[in-house]
Structure 1
Amino acid sequence: MLSFLTFKRIIELYMPILKRVFFFVVFVSSLTFQTAHANELYEMISQFEADKYALMRKYTIQESAEYYERFSKFYADWSGALKQVAFDKLSQQGKVDYILLKNQLDKELYFLKIKQKDFEEVAYVTEFAAPIYTFIRERRRGAPVNAIALAKTFDEMLGAIKGSREKISKAIPFSSWQKADKASDIVRSLRENLKESCEFYKGYEPLFTWWVEKPYDTLSVSLKLYEDFLRKHYVNTSVKDDGSGIIGRPIGREALIKSLQTEFISYSPEEIIAIAQKQFAWCDAEMLKASQAMGFGNNWKAAMEKVKNMYVPAGQQPALIDSLAEEAIRFVEQHNLITVPALAKETWRMRMMSPQAQKINPFFLGGEEIIISYPTNTMEHREKMMSMRGNNPHFSRATVQHELIPGHHLQQFMNERYKPYRNVFDTPFWIEGWALYWEFNLWDKDFPKTPEDRIGMLFWRMHRCARIIFSLNYHLGKMTPQQCIDFLVERVGHEYANAAAEVRRSFTGGYGPLYQIAYMVGGLQFYGLRKELVDSGKMTEKDFHDRILHEGNIPVDLVRAILTNQPLKEDHKATWKFAQ
């Protein structure tokens, strides 16, 4: 038999190997666990996303008949494949994923067809360009080029462009600036892809460089002039800029309703506006209470002015943000509201936003990094003061936890670790709604300590109400960008430059038409679900919050379906009246 000391030496000798074996077993077990819980459609969803982006990387002329035809076929093929799945045999998680994929296919095809219809109405502006399109398609596989013939083709295109421009200039102008923009975008897409194709051969094919370089340069300039001409060729009664300098694209009521349906929202645009107005009325009453507590009576704007002027000096904003972030983390942990992994607390960080970016994002942005808006030396004095006043400590107290923990940073941290394949279905109603929900929840738990804190939180709550009202009315054709700016200044108390930046961000920042309503509407969804499951005693608050972050970034209506084990059909439609 081995002595104790001998046994001990053997254990010490082989312990590093044993540790590696142990952690390998744990790792494999973890992968097996995640695969088992990824459910039946995990691979199908992953393949759909991979296929889509593979095609997007190949068919780069997005304003072309080729692009629209290929992607119409893509969605039709995938819809056919999904129909082969036996929905009734799926688990609850599988049924949710089926509904999500079906909805994604329907949504993307619907908006593709709208864009295709707009394209077909003005596609004649490049009817002369078939040889260029052929050259671009053949270049994808590196086809040999007859440089002399291509130079001749490019030279002939100059006359074709001139003829097309003369013909269009004599015809009735486009009926709207949107159509003019679409026509111009078709030429821009062609020009940019032609540039890429020529750069592929330039320098590698000696004859190509010698023959084609100059004709291409001349053709590129001609296409750019044609593109600019088309963008301005519309009737004077079509107003593109109302004087604000902000040019968006209102989508209209029909597209708004379809967008809401694809987000599994059971309300009409008008009903959502009414919900926002009701929330606004609550904010007004609470704002008056805070104003009175500060000694300003019913003059809440004077109370807000005092709060704005409590900004920290230049250079001290990062220290403030750090302290506010730590305060929010302590609060949710001390109240046992949610699990905050140690690594999530460790890995958040901050950086400053450039003056140029602050013209679009006058406040914070967040995630793993919190991006701070605060003045820099290159700003005008007036800009500096508006930035400091708009990012004062009491306004910031509501937004730091929104951006970091328990908001966006914790959200993204968990997304990368739990059902990440569902990120293909990402929705602002889950992303922004979750962060806004925490503003509701922390308010209820007396997170704001002073009247000034309450004014800071109420400012943002009023801001979310206003976002719903101005963005939906804009897309319904009832408000212009300038009216939206004025509304934010008068109704919410924004600094003018910050209001202009907010409206610019809403309509030209690359966000979808429902993005700005998603904050409060998504927040109300989570708030309604919390009442249903936590206030009723069916779940603890911590379990409720943890479960949400384990289900991935999906419409809240389907989060509810998972948490309540709701019976589902493959053509699921939202009926949930969460705002009641």
Structure 2
Amino acid sequence: MKYVLCFFLIFNLSFLNTWASDVSEAILQYQADRGALLRKYTLIASDEYYDRMEKLHADWLEELERFDFQNLDQQGRVDYHLFKNYLEKENYQLALSRQDFVKVKHLADFASPILPFIFSRRRGDKPDAQHVASTMHEVAKALTLYREELERKNDPLESWQLSETAASMVKNYITVLTEAYAFYEGYDPDMTWWVERPFKQLVDDMEAYVMFLKGNFSTENHNDDGSGIIGRPIGREAIISGLRQEFIPYTPEELIEIAEREFAWSEAEMKKASAALGYGEDWKQALEAVKESYFPIGEWPQEINRLAEEAVEFIESRDLISIPALAKETWRMRMLTPEEQKFAPFFLGGESILVAYPTTSMSHEEKMMSLRGNNPHFSRAVVHHELIPGHHLQQFMNQRYKPYRSLFRTPFWTEGWALYWEMNLWDKNFPRSAEDKIGMLFWRMHRSARIIFSLNYHLGTMSPQECIDFLVERVGHERANAEGEVRRSFTGNYGPLYQIAYMVGGLQFVSLKNEMVGGGLMTEKDFHDRIMKENSIPIALLREILRGGDPNKTISAWRFYEY
């Protein structure tokens, strides 16, 4: 019997060692661990949450070091780099978030007496209903006194971002408190009888407190330059840190220089298209003429559908990439609301393409700007960006190939790929006319401009109003659309490097194609198909995969742009 037991133990240890060499399994385990913790520790605005998530990352970084890197295959080594980079990036972001939390957490001290009720609910403990009611009543009284004291002291938070952080913290308390009370409501008669009224009163008071916190910031640090857009410049050091996490070995100043060169190329091509339309080198006049080609009200969605099908036919007729039939079948569209269009004045996309076009509630000026900014020649260049072979095809394939890598999603891959296709189709004579060329060049100039204005903003050398003026004067944007673009860049739910990812990622893909396809190492279709099966990862690591080598523990710097 003991020999059978020994064999069983040896077999299982061998199995575990085999499993342990597969980094993708560890990534899946981490995702499961992280999901379990996020479901358990729902009070994100707490030291408990930050301590636990920091421990999670530390534990997995320690676990990752136990892998025998030299014995990993190519995919294992890439996954090792992806996972390690992700954990370090998460720690970095968590530390930044905790810094803001520490600055505002005293504003929720009044709520600490209700935490034992919230935490004990997780295990379904039987509460003392009368004590819970009394606690909520006392907390509501404490909140009233505390808010009165804040108003009397007139000591606002230093920025609107911190006031939003404080408001979100209290909203988080409301959410977990409501969830805890709902667990017992109607089930435990004592809880319902004792707690219903104190609970509702406390929630009402906390919601009013949220509104107070949202407006409780100092206008001295508001720095509104007249645009009404108040962002949060991150500075040069944070930019470089973010670029390093994307394996991009350029300084912000170098990227601005690259963008200026790309802008100059687009402007030279724009002048050629302008001359073809009879406007000489006055490309802005030609641009204005193209903007006037907007579609009649009510007929635009059908044109978008036609543009999408045209792009697919163009790509398939040249056998540039494999497009699954189901991907072509399942995309759809919806209209952006007027409120959404203040942040996204053009298309957004994925499985659904989100359409920007005038609605009845807009002013006449807003309607005309939306019409002119979404004309068919501008749109022909970006419908395929949003659908196929852009974001819809990306999402479709990401769900089916190496889906565990979705954890590492990066805009340099996501937006870079979609922009790369704009460049690739330009090279393949996708524009049918000078008007189409102007539409494609407008967007290409815009993506160069995004690098210039967003990096300068985060370096502290351009204000939001200067960014708006730059888009209007250098690129030819409608002013309302430029305002929406800048607002989206600095106050939307985007990372500070998101807007540079389009052009920078696109240029990385162009360089990689020149190396792999131009170097005769693979066909263009194989190149595109292989990219779609590696999921969303930093393009420097994708390059390691396509080149067929085994990356070392230190990834060499890839200077992908040739001046």
The answer as to 2:274 corresponding to 1:303 is: no
Question: Could you say if the C-alpha distance between residues 145 and 40 of structure 1 is closer, same or farther in structure 2, counting changes exceeding 3 Å?
Answer: same
The answer as to 2:94 corresponding to 1:112 is: yes
CA distance in 2, matches of 1:344, 1:179: 43
CA distance in 2, matches of 1:56, 1:44: 18
Match of 1:268 among 247, 251, 264: 251
Match in the other structure for 2:262 = 279
Which range moves more in the overlay, 267-276 or 366-375? 366-375
RMSD: 2.2
Match in the other structure for 2:555 = 572
Match in the other structure for 1:222 = 205
Query: Any idea what SS the aligned residue of 2:517 has?
Result: helix
CA distance in 2, matches of 1:446, 1:327: 14
Amino acid at match of 2:193: W
**What pairs with 1:429-444 in structure 2 (closer than 5 Å)?**
429-444=412-427
Match in the other structure for 2:72 = 90
**Cα deviation 1:403-456 (Å, max 9, x = unaligned):** 122222222222222212211111111111001001111111221121111100
1:290 deviates by 1.2
Amino acid at match of 1:71: M
1:507 deviates by 2.5
Which range moves more in the overlay, 236-245 or 503-512? 236-245
Amino acid at match of 1:371: L
- 8 Å contact 1:150–1:212 — kept in the other structure? yes
The answer as to 2:356 corresponding to 1:373 is: yes
1:299 deviates by 1.9
- 8 Å contact 2:27–2:404 — kept in the other structure? yes
Match in the other structure for 1:471 = 454
Amino acid at match of 1:527: V
* TM-score where L is the length of structure 2: 0.91
CA distance in 2, matches of 1:181, 1:383: 29
1:535 deviates by 1.5
Match of 2:376 among 390, 393, 401: 393
1:387 deviates by 1.8
Amino acid at match of 1:481: P
Match of 2:30 among 48, 57, 65: 48
The answer as to 2:524 corresponding to 1:541 is: yes
CA distance in 2, matches of 1:146, 1:367: 50
1:171 deviates by 7.6
Query: Any idea what SS the aligned residue of 2:221 has?
Result: coil
CA distance in 1, matches of 2:218, 2:357: 42
Which range moves more in the overlay, 550-559 or 538-547? 538-547
**What pairs with 1:47-86 in structure 2 (closer than 5 Å)?**
47-86=29-68
**Which structure 2 segments of 5+ residues have no match?**
1-17
CA distance in 2, matches of 1:224, 1:94: 49
CA distance in 2, matches of 1:159, 1:139: 23
The answer as to 2:317 corresponding to 1:343 is: no
- 8 Å contact 1:177–1:240 — kept in the other structure? no
CA distance in 2, matches of 1:50, 1:88: 27
CA distance in 2, matches of 1:335, 1:418: 24
1:396 deviates by 0.9
CA distance in 1, matches of 2:64, 2:249: 25
**Cα deviation 1:281-324 (Å, max 9, x = unaligned):** 11111111111111112221111111011111112222222222
Which range moves more in the overlay, 432-441 or 274-283? 274-283
Match in the other structure for 1:252 = 235
CA distance in 1, matches of 2:396, 2:153: 58
1:480 deviates by 2.9
* TM-score where L is the length of structure 1: 0.88
CA distance in 2, matches of 1:346, 1:183: 45
Question: Could you say if the C-alpha distance between residues 528 and 180 of structure 1 is closer, same or farther in structure 2, counting changes exceeding 3 Å?
Answer: same
Query: Any idea what SS the aligned residue of 1:237 has?
Result: helix
Match in the other structure for 1:209 = 192
Query: Any idea what SS the aligned residue of 1:127 has?
Result: helix
1:70 deviates by 0.7
Which 4+ stretches in 1 moved above 4 angstroms?
Answer: 166-169
Match in the other structure for 1:10 = none
Amino acid at match of 1:144: K
Query: Any idea what SS the aligned residue of 2:60 has?
Result: helix
1:525 deviates by 0.3
